[in-house]
Amino acid sequence: MVSAPTVTGHAAMTDRIALAFARARSEGRAALVTFVTAGDPSIAATLDVLSALVEGGADVVELGMPFTDPMADGPAIQAANLRSLANGTTTAAIFQIARWFCERYPHVPLVLMGYANPMLRRGAEWFANQAASTGVSGVICVDLPPEEDDQLGPALRERGVHLIRLATPTTDAARLPAVLDGASGFLYYVSVAGITGLQQAAQASIEDAVARLKAATDLPVAVGFGIRSPDQAAAVGRVADGVVVGSAIVDLVARHGADAPAQVRTYIQSLSAALAAARKGVHA
């Protein structure tokens, strides 16, 4: 179980994302942000996997909303989306999972991540109401750039739900202010121009990017895409406020099915331990 965090500074006491990053910072480590696809391989199994994430030490949990056409995702998460949909995962079921999680782990922020069409199918107001009443802390909408923010952003922000923005290697200095305008929660740096789960970016390019982003925003910067091993996580965790791991967890779920929770817990523990040691031990 997660104990109530102690926070100094002015982070809003109700903002679980700010609290989670602040807690990690106070412990001298990067926050561990983890992703799983809802309903993969089943709704019941998702609950167990989510528990394993928290028990293993995840600070923030991203719950993937499956979509038939996940065009920003690599093979692992594509397959997870299809498995989930084949199991009949509905939007209602995803919110049931979210509600269960938020009630059981009230201190661990839950972020819904997915594509615009399933989120907006019943309208932005409906989705934002569901998210807020369920206890969801933030939303990542992969195919909603700042240019289309008005489709969803205002509805979420009015209800205190963060719309988390993404920055990428192609987000240049001229564009960065547009990305940061209205950004909240944390800034998700997609370290690779590409799809999820394949190669990892060079450490030097991640360091440069994080420095550039942190100079431009006070939001925590979490880095993701292609991070799998504890060593990779530790290297990124030395410079970033958060480390995002997704496809590697989804792979474990795919490989181990009903036995996945124990595997996931062990894996997450190895990442947490690496992050906890990263800024204390020998620098790479």
For CA atoms 239, 247, 144, 203, give the dihedral sign.
positive
Distance separating alpha carbons of residues 153 and 89, to the nearest angstrom: 25
The one catalytic residue in 73, 149, 241, 251 is 73
Min. distance of Cβ 184 from another protein in angstroms? Answer: 16
The one catalytic residue in 15, 40, 59, 62 is 62
Instruction: Give yes or no: 207 in active site.
Output: no
Beta strand ranges found along the chain (DSSP E): 31-37, 60-64, 110-114, 138-141, 162-163, 165-167, 187-190, 221-224, 242-245
Residue from 37, 46, 78, 247 in contact with another protein (CB under 8 A): 78
* Residues 242/59, Cβ–Cβ less than 8 Å: yes
102 forms beta bridges with none
Site for another protein in 189-228 (CB under 8 A): 190, 192-195, 198
Q: With CB under 8 A, what is the number of residues at the site for another protein?
A: 44
Residue 261: asked if its preceding bond is cis (omega within 30°), the reply is no
Residue from 39, 41, 57, 118 in contact with another protein (CB under 8 A): 118
The reply on whether position 148 binds another protein by CB under 8 A is: yes
* Residues 56/268, Cβ–Cβ less than 8 Å: yes
Residue from 168, 203, 229, 263 in contact with another protein (CB under 8 A): 168
Catalytic positions: 62, 73
Residues at the contact surface with another protein, assessed by CB under 8 A: 67-75, 78, 82, 85, 90-91, 115-121, 142-145, 147-148, 151, 165-172, 175, 179, 190, 192-195, 198
